[in-house]
Chain A
């Protein structure tokens, strides 16, 4: 098993698959509020990302097993899908947020404790390694169903690396 095969087969998107999951560069760089990144590469019977998207940016599924397809021109970065997707496979990245240095990620969060707004948290990559610190800007609960969406400022170079946060507090 090659390294990237081993990664993929255990649930980690290998770097050579990033590009096909990224929104188109030009639009992404200028889109205020950000664009969605959907990391759902396997055909499974599931479609709440589409049914939960208010703009139709995640296109209708001809077959419920289809891999989600995105019309980025319709995406508003609202992150309703981030909170709806049972696979926690949708993320929003806003590249217009922090100049050249920073970007804003909207990540699903279902753990305890909840971070506070303004708190510094650890940012984890797809294998759970801490790759940077990040500052929590806002926490919302779009569907009022306990799944939170955490807005976190992260180093811009890591928007395709960071996929989770961890709250660290000394006890």
Chain B
């Protein structure tokens, strides 16, 4: 059995920020992450980020990850990291988390405080032949290209014009892969307008109110049928044949919340946050007093907000452990909330604001929560 004061599950921007914050006050932190490298989504993001200077806007995602890891190095032995290590389960009765490192090393951890920062899982949509090789999630395409330097194919049909679909399309073009078209079921792009403008000017059509009907091919994807859709009426108009060898799905993410269910946290289905999320207070503490949540696991949002939520959770865990003076805690927490609110102030975040309003509880006892 290993012991630690803070266990951070998931080493993406939320988890790393929380670890840095807690360690900066002296807490002993352990980070576990399933991936081979820490950084979460950031390591595949070669584009420059939005947000404010505080959250390192204008900097490329993977560079932000390196900056966070450097910050953690500064805390020396206080921070212990395990990559290729998955938290498998949480035992509510004794508070033990069991982990599997690689395929051999199974161990248990007894942490005083736990942060679940497990990020998100990709959604798929049903259509005939969606199990053919060549149908990818956007995350897989990004990992292949930007982590391993492998292109997924020659010509891609992108499904979904949210930020992920738009950004991955741009990155495919950068890698020399053709993007035949982006289909989007809604009458407007869901992602930022400027991201759409970037791919449009390079000649990629975005077909609004269109979706994929079927993947074509016998052993692998050889094409796709797309068609216009009308709200409430399903497919209308002529079927369009698209020549492609990859169909990339960017139709949304769901929070990864299994461990939160296991921890007995009160959960709520909130469509604006893209799935089941834990009820939490302003310190990101759930209804299980030893469990905090931050980042996409707390509702699908952005790396910028994930980092601030991580800071808030890290600060609060350190405070609960007695490392932070009450006054300092109050002031810093107010500062972080100011940043978070600023990030969430735009029209693109209206949905997030509605979602957060449904899951934020007043206080779970203790001070200033």
> A: which residues have CB within 8 A of B?
1, 6, 9-13, 39-48, 51-52, 63-65, 84-89, 110-112, 124-129, 145, 147, 163-164, 166
Contacts and interface: CB of A to CB of B under 8 A. Distances in A.
Contact of B60 (A10, A111, A126, A145): A145
Contacts of A6: 208
Most buried by A among B57, B203, B342, B348: B57
A111 B113 CA distance: 46
B52 A45 contact: yes
Interface of B: 47-53, 57-58, 60, 161, 173-174, 176, 187-189, 192-206, 208-209, 304, 342-349
B194 A89 contact: yes
Contacts of B51: 45-46, 64
A11 B200 contact: yes
Nearest to A11: B196
A36 to B, nearest CB: 15
Contacts of A111: 173-174, 202
A46 B23 CA distance: 29
Contact of B176 (A52, A110, A112): A112
B58 A86 contact: yes
Nearest to B339: A64
A39 B192 CA distance: 12
Contacts of B206: 10-11
Nearest to B54: A64
Contact of B342 (A1, A45, A48): A45
A126 to B, nearest CB: 5
B343 to A, nearest CB: 5
A82 B216 CA distance: 41
Contacts of A126: 197, 200-201
A63 B200 CA distance: 28
A42 B345 contact: no
20 contacts: A9-B189, A10-B196, A10-B200, A10-B205, A11-B195, A11-B198, A42-B192, A44-B193, A44-B348, A45-B348, A47-B52, A51-B53, A65-B346, A65-B347, A65-B349, A86-B50, A112-B176, A127-B200, A128-B201, A129-B203
Contacts of A44: 50, 192-194, 346, 348
A10 B208 contact: yes
Most buried by B among A10, A46, A88, A163: A10
B197 A11 contact: yes
Nearest to B57: A48
B58 A51 contact: yes
Contact of A46 (B57, B188, B189, B200): B57
Nearest to B195: A87
List the 4 shortest-distance A-B pairs measured between CB atoms, nearest first. Answer: A11-B196, A128-B203, A87-B194, A65-B346
Given A44-B192, A47-B57, A127-B200, 14 more contacts: A1-B187, A9-B208, A10-B205, A10-B208, A11-B189, A11-B206, A12-B200, A13-B197, A46-B50, A64-B342, A85-B58, A110-B174, A126-B200, A145-B48
Given A11-B197, A45-B342, A86-B57, A124 B48 contact: no
B309 to A, nearest CB: 15
A59 B243 CA distance: 46
A148 to B, nearest CB: 12
A45 B63 CA distance: 20
Contacts of B57: 46-48, 51, 86
Nearest to B49: A86
B318 to A, nearest CB: 27
Contacts of A42: 192-194, 347-348
Contacts of B345: 45, 63-65
A110 to B, nearest CB: 6
Given A46-B51, A110-B174, A41 B193 contact: yes
Contacts of A86: 47-50, 57-58
